[in-house]
Amino acid sequence: MSLRYQTIPVTAFQQNCSLVWCDETLDAALIDPGGEITKLLAEVQRLGLHLKAIWLTHAHIDHAGGTGQLARELGLPVIGPHPGDQFWIDGLPQQSQMFGFPPAEPFAPTQWLHDGDHVRIGKQELQVRHCPGHTPGHVVFFSAAAKRAFVGDVLFAGGVGRSDFPGGNHNELIHSITQRLWPMGDDTVFIPGHGPESSFGVERRSNPYVRGT
Ligand SMILES: [Zn+2]
Ligand SMILES: [Zn+2]
């Protein structure tokens, strides 16, 4: 048995929503359903999966914008992010307006996440690490078995997340990357919130923001 996933870019920001599932039970979760719910559900159906939960890395509109509607329509629990992002959840209506997104339905997380927590889907378990810096309540999801990390806007192939938003902090972001991501191993492949996958080893060698750390 193993963890499977498929990344589906959504919204004008081409945010990488990841559909993750247990290949034994076919239970699935959507990480960061920022929008385009019809497209996401078509993929769930095409793969014959049982959608059980929404997991959020952080509450920026391109990551969380579709959450309220999806949770309401399908009765899904919203797991995450960390409580540090409450103010971003409260601000989703303004974020929608500012970036020209469809109005985001409000929601309240069913369960907040903290560093060291675990999330489960089917027979798969992923570790939760709190990685503030891009937003105060940003979390990432790590499958040690699959050697995959879903890191939202903490780290990108060749870049790092912006830290110039309210509550952002560049030093804290770099600390999150070096202290919370690198221990997952150089051979761990990460799925960033935008753009192509890479591995932590490649970024430690070549990413100008964190090279040699
Ligand atoms: Zn973001
Ligand atoms: Zn983003």
* Ligand 2 centre distance from Cα of residue 196 (Å): 13
* Ligand 2 centre distance from Cα of residue 48 (Å): 28
User: Residue 150 is inside which H or E element, if any?
Assistant: strand 148-152
Q: Shortest CA distance to 107 belongs to which of 172, 189, 33?
A: 33
* Ligand 2 centre distance from Cα of residue 84 (Å): 17
161: left (phi over 0), alpha (psi -120 to 50) or beta: beta
* pLDDT recorded at residue 199: 98
* Ligand 2 centre distance from Cα of residue 50 (Å): 26
185/147 Cα distance (integer angstroms): 8
Domain boundary assignment for the chain: 3-206
User: Residue 52 is inside which H or E element, if any?
Assistant: strand 50-55
* Ligand 2 centre distance from Cα of residue 137 (Å): 14
Cα four-point dihedral sign 183, 83, 113, 192: negative
Phi, psi of 37 (to 5 degrees): -60, -40
* pLDDT recorded at residue 84: 98
* pLDDT recorded at residue 68: 98
- Domain 3-206 matching CATH 3.40.50.1100: the answer reads no
* Ligand 1 centre distance from Cα of residue 104 (Å): 16
Full DSSP string of 65-102 = TTHHHHHHHHT--EE---GGGHHHHHTHHHHHHHHTPP
Q: Is the distance from CB of 172 to CB of 132 less than 8 angstroms?
A: yes
Q: Which ligand is nearest to the CA of 135?
A: 1
How far apart, in Å, are the Cα atoms of 86 and each of 25, 49, 113, 137, 167? Answer: 33, 30, 12, 8, 11
Residues lower than pLDDT 70 in the chain = none
Q: Which ligand is nearest to the CA of 165?
A: 1
* pLDDT recorded at residue 78: 98
* pLDDT recorded at residue 213: 85
- 26 burial (CB, 10 Å; 0-12 / 13-18 / 19+) is middle
* Ligand 2 centre distance from Cα of residue 18 (Å): 13
* Ligand 2 centre distance from Cα of residue 127 (Å): 21
Residue with tokens 């997340």: 161
* Ligand 1 centre distance from Cα of residue 62 (Å): 7
Listed in sequence order, the DSSP H helices in the chain are 37-46, 61-64, 67-74, 86-90, 92-99, 170-176, 200-206
Q: Which ligand is nearest to the CA of 14?
A: 2
Q: Which ligand is nearest to the CA of 35?
A: 2
* pLDDT recorded at residue 1: 78
2/18 Cα distance (integer angstroms): 16
